[in-house]
Amino acid sequence: MSPATQTSDPITNRNLRGDILFAFALGIAIYLAWVLRDVLILLYVSALFAVVLAPVVRGVMRLRIGRWHPNHLTAILILTFGLLLLGILFFVLTLPPLIRDITIFLKELPQRSESIVARMQNVPLLRRMGFGGIADKLKESASQYAGAALYSLSNWAGKLFDIITGVILTVYFMIEGKHAYLWLLSMVPAARRQRLDTTLQRASVRMGRWLLGQLMLMLILGVTCSIVFSLLHIRYSFILAILLGVSNIIPVVGALVTGSLALLVAAMDSWTKVLSVLAFGLIYAQVENAYLTPRIMRTSVDLAGTAVIIALLVGVSLAGVAGAIVAVPTAVLVTVLLDEYFIDSTATAGSE
pLDDT at 162 exceeding the cut of 60: yes
In terms of DSSP H, where are the helices of 53-123?
Answer: 54-61, 72-121
How many folded domains does the chain comprise?
1
Using CA atoms, how far apart are residues 32 and 17, in angstroms rounded to an integer? 23
In this structure, of 231-245, 289-303, 319-333, the range with the lowest mean pLDDT score is 289-303
Using CA atoms, how far apart are residues 126 and 115, in angstroms rounded to an integer? 15
Look at residue 51 and give its three-state secondary structure: helix
Task: Name the pTM for this structure.
Answer: 0.66
Could you tell me which residues come within 8 angstroms of residue 46 by beta carbon, excluding any fewer than 6 positions away? 166, 169, 170, 172, 173
Mean pLDDT of 161-187: 84
Mean pLDDT of 44-70: 83
The verdict on residue 335 lying in a domain is yes
pLDDT at 2 exceeding the cut of 70: no
pLDDT tens by residue, 89-110: 877 777 777 677 667 766 666 6
The verdict on residue 304 lying in a domain is yes
User: In which band, very low, low, confident or very high, does the pLDDT at 149 lie, cut at 50, 70 and 90?
Assistant: very low
The verdict on residue 236 lying in a domain is yes
Q: How many CB atoms within 10 Å of residue 183?
A: 9
**Quick one: what percent of the chain has pLDDT higher than 70?**
72
User: Among residues 240, 289, 300, 288, which one has the least CA distance to residue 266?
Assistant: 240
**CA pseudo-torsion sign 254, 255, 258, 261:** negative
Look at residue 65 and give its three-state secondary structure: strand
User: In which band, very low, low, confident or very high, does the pLDDT at 75 lie, cut at 50, 70 and 90?
Assistant: confident
Using CA atoms, how far apart are residues 55 and 59, in angstroms rounded to an integer? 6
pLDDT at 202 exceeding the cut of 60: yes
The verdict on residue 201 lying in a domain is yes
Range of the domain at 330: 190-346
Could you tell me which residues come within 8 angstroms of residue 316 by beta carbon, excluding any fewer than 6 positions away? 253, 323, 324, 327
**Quick one: what percent of the chain has pLDDT higher than 90?**
0
User: Among residues 251, 214, 255, 294, which one has the least CA distance to residue 52?
Assistant: 214
The verdict on residue 134 lying in a domain is no
The verdict on residue 202 lying in a domain is yes
The verdict on residue 62 lying in a domain is no
pLDDT tens by residue, 105-124: 666 666 665 565 565 555 55
Using CA atoms, how far apart are residues 77 and 80, in angstroms rounded to an integer? 5
Residue 146: predicted pLDDT = 47
pLDDT tens by residue, 228-245: 988 988 877 887 888 888
Using CA atoms, how far apart are residues 328 and 250, in angstroms rounded to an integer? 9
Per-residue burial over 243-259, b if 16 or more Cβ lie within 10 Å, else e, is bbbebbbbbbbbbeebb
Using CA atoms, how far apart are residues 139 and 143, in angstroms rounded to an integer? 8
The verdict on residue 90 lying in a domain is no
